[in-house]
Every structure is written in structure tokens, then in C-alpha cells.
């Protein structure tokens, strides 16, 4: 059974942020929003063994069974004028890639804007919100709530049929399970490293952009970007300095896309 104590036991050293654990919760994102009223320390994490109403991007749900996945919301205090606010989700994706590569032999890729893939299938999704709270003295504090769902072990009974063709876990059917406490501790330390210790939000973005381009699953491919029937076929060219996706349309126009679904 996962627990805050077991996660802390796998940390390599002390960290500023607290770890708050629930066996089951509707959504770690909702719990994180409520926690902001207490102005938690930078890097505080809400971790759940399972979610009954896990949140995905574009209003979708996130499959969150017990015993196999890892579901958390990481609270990052935002500086007054961050240099790279549009790259926050991408920084998180890089932290996930570093975690996966350090604990497995898998070679993860990043599908812009918020998915991490293994073998072309989704193992993790990221959902980021920014909120501002005003303290008793009138001081304003801004936080990013970074929601992460990670399929650690192949779920008992497999994935639901509606996502079975496009979802994967870090372990396959019949493979030895990975310890979720170990994986959670590793993920928190990777997030602390890139977002707090290296302060990526206020650092030179180019080294991170170079890594993002190298790990992208889209660059050089024809894709459709949009929502529903409003989908435009484009060629993915690169990751823009502000985190958008640089594309070329059928007419030869180059532009940066900031929102929508990629197919």
C-alpha cells in the first residue's frame, strides 16, 4: 500500500514541500486548490492511490485505478514575472522523461502539449492550472497546480477498451511491478530539481528547448491540430521559445499553435 511515509523513505534527502497522501480521492487537482488557502510550501504534493474523478485535458476524465497508477498534484509557487511560463507543462514532461529513463530501459517521447509516450502509447498526462491567492495582509501569491497521472504498472484486467489501443504503462502484462513509492519519490525529486533547484521558469530556456525538440514525437510529421471537426492538417516543425508548437500549413504559412488537440 502506498503512503506518505513510504514515499519519504525513498527520498535521497530533505525537501521543502510536504507530501499529503490519500488512499482514494475524487481528484488531486481539487484537493490542491483547497490547500492553496493555507499557502503551502513550494513543491508540496497531493498524492492519491486512486481517483474517482480524475481530470484530464479538454474536460476528459483520467483513468485512475488503485494499485497500478500514480496520481499527484504538485504545487509550484510562481515568481512575479517568470521568463518561461508557457514551458511549465513541458518542463514537467522532461522531469517525467528523466524519471522513466532512470528507472526503466524505456525511451519516452513527448507528445505536445501534455502527454508522455512509450512505444507510441500514452503513459502519462499532465494538466496545469495557475491560481492566485491573496493573504490576510493583502499580499498575492500565485501557484501553478501541476496534475500528473502516470501509469506505473499494467492494471489488473488491462485498460478499458476505449483506451486500450493508445494507453501503456511502465511495465507490461506479466512483468515485475515497479514500486509506486519509489517512482513517486523519484518524480518529486525530478520536479524539485527542474522547477526549484534549477529554477527553469526563470532560466535560459534554450537547453530545455533543445531537449524538448529531441524528445518530441511530432516534429517532422504531418498532424491535425484543432478540436472536433475543426482540425487543420499541418507539418510540425519545432517547439517555439514560449512553449507553442511551430507548424507549417498546407499553404506554406508558418505559425505557432498554442491550444487544441493533436491527432
Question: Residues 114-146: pLDDT tens digits?
Answer: 999 999 999 999 999 999 988 777 788 899 999
- The total domain count for the chain is 2
- Structural domain including 257 reads 218-262
Query: Please, which pLDDT band fits residue 158 given cuts at 50, 70 and 90?
Result: confident
CA–CA separation, 123 vs 163, rounded Å? 11
Answering whether pTM is above 0.85, one says yes
Tell me how crowded residue 53 is: count the other CB atoms within 10 A of its CB: 12
Query: Are 246 and 154 members of one domain?
Result: no
> CATH no. for residue 227?
2.30.30.100
Same domain, 88 and 147: yes
Same domain, 167 and 250: no
Quickly state the pLDDT bin for 58 (edges 50, 70, 90): very low
**What is the average pLDDT score of the chain?**
92
164 and 95 within one domain: yes
Res. 181: pLDDT tops 80 = yes
Task: Give yes or no: residues 239 and 163 share one domain.
Answer: no
Query: Are 65 and 149 part of one and the same domain?
Result: yes
Tell whether the model's pLDDT for residue 28 goes beyond 70. yes
Same domain, 196 and 135: yes
Amino acid at each position: 500500500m502506498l503512503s506518505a511515509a513510504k514515499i519519504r523513505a525513498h527520498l535521497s534527502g530533505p525537501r521543502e514541500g510536504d507530501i499529503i497522501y490519500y488512499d482514494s480521492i475524487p481528484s488531486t487537482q481539487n484537493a490542491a486548490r483547497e490547500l492553496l488557502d493555507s499557502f503551502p510550501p513550494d513543491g508540496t504534493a497531493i498524492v492519491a492511490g486512486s481517483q474517482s474523478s480524475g481530470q484530464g485535458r479538454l474536460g476528459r476524465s483520467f483513468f485512475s485505478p488503485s494499485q497500478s497508477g500514480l496520481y499527484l498534484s504538485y504545487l509550484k509557487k510562481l515568481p512575479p514575472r517568470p521568463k518561461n511560463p508557457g514551458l511549465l507543462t513541458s518542463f514537467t514532461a522532461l522531469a517525467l522523461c528523466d524519471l522513466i529513463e532512470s528507472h526503466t530501459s524505456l525511451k519516452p517521447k513527448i507528445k505536445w502539449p501534455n502527454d508522455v509516450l512509450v512505444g507510441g502509447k500514452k503513459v502519462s498526462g499532465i494538466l496545469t492550472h495557475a491560481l492566485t491567492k491573496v493573504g490576510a495582509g493583502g499580499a498575492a501569491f500565485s501557484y501553478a497546480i501541476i496534475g500528473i497521472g502516470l501509469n506505473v504498472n499494467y492494471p489488473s484486467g488491462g485498460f478499458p477498451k476505449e483506451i486500450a489501443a493508445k494507453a501503456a504503462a511502465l511495465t507490461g502484462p506479466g512483468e515485475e511491478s515497479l514500486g509506486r513509492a519509489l517512482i513517486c519519490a523519484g518524480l518529486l525529486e525530478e520536479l524539485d530539481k527542474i522547477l526549484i533547484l534549477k529554477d527553469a521558469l526563470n532560466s535560459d530556456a534554450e537547453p530545455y528547448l533543445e531537449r524538448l525538440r529531441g524528445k518530441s514525437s511530432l516534429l517532422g510529421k504531418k498532424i491535425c491540430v484543432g478540436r472536433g471537426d475543426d482540425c487543420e492538417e499541418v507539418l510540425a516543425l519545432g517547439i517555439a521559445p514560449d512553449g507553442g508548437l511551430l507548424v507549417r500549413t498546407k499553404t506554406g504559412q508558418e505559425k505557432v499553435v498554442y491550444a487544441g488537440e493533436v491527432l
